[in-house]
């Protein structure tokens, strides 16, 4: 699929649930978000029906997100169902890691090869503050389960907030010990925090990293993400990288769509424009209508995110960002 700006769209992020066992301050308000009713959420069979059409039209990479995807009952079955679709080349999953000790083995047996884990701090107090409901010990147990199970690559997502979790040194130490890809991500003022003063620009993150340790270039691991400038401490098994969606946005190379838990196809993380797929899935699947929706998505996908903050329509936790 090629949009009107000549970009090849070959990647879909699927939010399988709006529910989460954490309440990260940059993602969800403390009370959570209004929960969707069961009948409003796509069934696994509907997700698979949509993806069969999308893959036949050129999608080759899929990531499962949430909310917390491991919170959705039967998630291992969905992994198995998606991997059975001919033409899908890569399937990955983003999680906060809390439930990985329970699910890592089953996910690997179902065919999942790699995971991203949100790990906003390696300080127990800061982690508890940022996640509100989380324990660093539980998150690290999830990371250990991912390593022990053999997922590769394992990417750690760190949304950096100025004055809160902007000490990068513990993550560099982690790369000395584990084969993980730590990605420092600029805070996007789309969540409940809102304020721009939390943003630590990528240029500043570079300077912080360079001041902490000598770093050498490293190969970019397999994956779909926009992380750049992979570096490693000489001899370390892990790497660090930067994702700069605000100060060095990657709109010209955007290759993705987002299928949300309620069946809406979101065309841009920062844009409220969505296309409802449910009329093409219920009461019966209409494959031609689904193809027409994908054509419409290619026509409507914006060239770039808005220049100024606006109404994003949903909380980050409901978008799977």
171 labeled part of a ligand binding site:
no
Are the C-beta atoms of residues 230 and 239 closer than 8 Å to each other? yes
67 labeled part of a ligand binding site:
yes
- Provide the sign of the torsion angle of the four alpha carbons 286, 11, 86, 105, taken in this order: negative
Strands (E) in the chain, as ranges, are 11-15, 61-65, 90-95, 114-118, 154-160, 180-186, 216-217, 228-232, 239-243, 256-259, 264-266, 274-276
304 labeled part of a ligand binding site:
no
Q: How many helices (H) and strands (E) does the chain have?
A: 9, 12
Q: Report the alpha-carbon distance of residue 134 to residue 124 in Å, rounded.
A: 9
27 labeled part of a ligand binding site:
yes
81 labeled part of a ligand binding site:
no
268 labeled part of a ligand binding site:
yes
254 labeled part of a ligand binding site:
yes
94 strand-pairing partners: 116
26 labeled part of a ligand binding site:
yes
Q: Tell me the CA end-to-end span of the chain in Å, nearest whole number.
A: 22
7 labeled part of a ligand binding site:
no
Q: Are strands 216-217 and 239-243 parallel, antiparallel or unpaired?
A: unpaired
In angstroms, what CA-CA distances link 170 with 112, 120, 239, 240, 307? 28, 11, 13, 12, 34
20 labeled part of a ligand binding site:
yes
258 labeled part of a ligand binding site:
yes
Residue with tokens 């701090």: 121
256 labeled part of a ligand binding site:
yes
Contacts 24+ apart (CB under 8 A), 263-269: 263/41, 263/42, 263/46, 265/293, 265/297, 266/319, 267/297, 267/300, 267/301, 267/302, 268/301, 268/302, 268/305, 269/188, 269/190, 269/245, 269/305, 269/319, 269/321
Which are the contacts of 219, defined by CB distance < 8 A and separation ≥ 6? Answer: 230
**Known binding-site residue numbers for S-adenosyl-L-methionine:** 26, 67, 188
**Known binding-site residue numbers for GTP:** 13, 63, 94, 155, 256-258
**Known binding-site residue numbers:** 13, 20, 24, 26-27, 63, 67, 94, 155, 188, 251, 254, 256-258, 268
**Known binding-site residue numbers for [4Fe-4S] cluster:** 20, 24, 27, 251, 254, 268
């Amino acid at each position: 699929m090629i949009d009107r700006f000549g970009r090849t769209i070959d990647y879909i992020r699927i939010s399988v649930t709006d529910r989460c066992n954490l309440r990260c301050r940059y993602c969800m308000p403390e009370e959570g978000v209004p929960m969707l009713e069961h009948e409003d959420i796509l069934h696994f069979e509907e997700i698979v029906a949509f993806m069969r059409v999308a893959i036949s039209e050129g999608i080759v990479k899929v990531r499962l997100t949430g909310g917390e995807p491991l919170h959705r009952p039967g998630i291992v079955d969905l992994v198995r169902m998606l991997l059975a679709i001919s033409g899908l080349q890569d399937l990955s999953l983003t999680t906060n890691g809390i439930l990985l000790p329970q699910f890592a083995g089953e996910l690997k047996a179902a065919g999942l090869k790699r995971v991203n884990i949100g790990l906003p701090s390696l300080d127990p107090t800061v982690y508890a503050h940022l996640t509100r409901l989380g324990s660093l010990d539980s998150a690290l147990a999830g990371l250990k389960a991912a390593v022990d199970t053999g997922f590769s690559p394992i990417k750690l997502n760190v949304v950096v907030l100025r004055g809160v979790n902007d000490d990068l040194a513990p993550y560099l130490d982690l790369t000395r010990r584990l084969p993980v890809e730590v990605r420092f991500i600029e805070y996007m003022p789309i969540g409940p925090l809102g304020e721009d003063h939390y943003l630590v620009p990528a240029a500043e993150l570079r300077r912080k990293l360079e001041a902490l340790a000598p770093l050498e270039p490293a190969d970019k691991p397999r994956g779909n993400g926009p992380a750049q400038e992979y570096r490693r401490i000489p001899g370390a098994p892990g790497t660090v990288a930067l994702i700069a969606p605000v100060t060095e946005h990657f709109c010209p190379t955007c290759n993705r769509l987002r299928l949300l838990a309620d069946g809406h196809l979101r065309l841009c993380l920062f844009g409220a424009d969505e296309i409802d797929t449910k009329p093409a899935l219920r009461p019966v699947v209409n494959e031609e209508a689904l193809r027409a929706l994908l054509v419409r998505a290619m026509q409507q996908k914006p060239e770039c995110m808005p220049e100024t903050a606006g109404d994003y329509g949903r909380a980050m936790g409901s978008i799977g960002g």
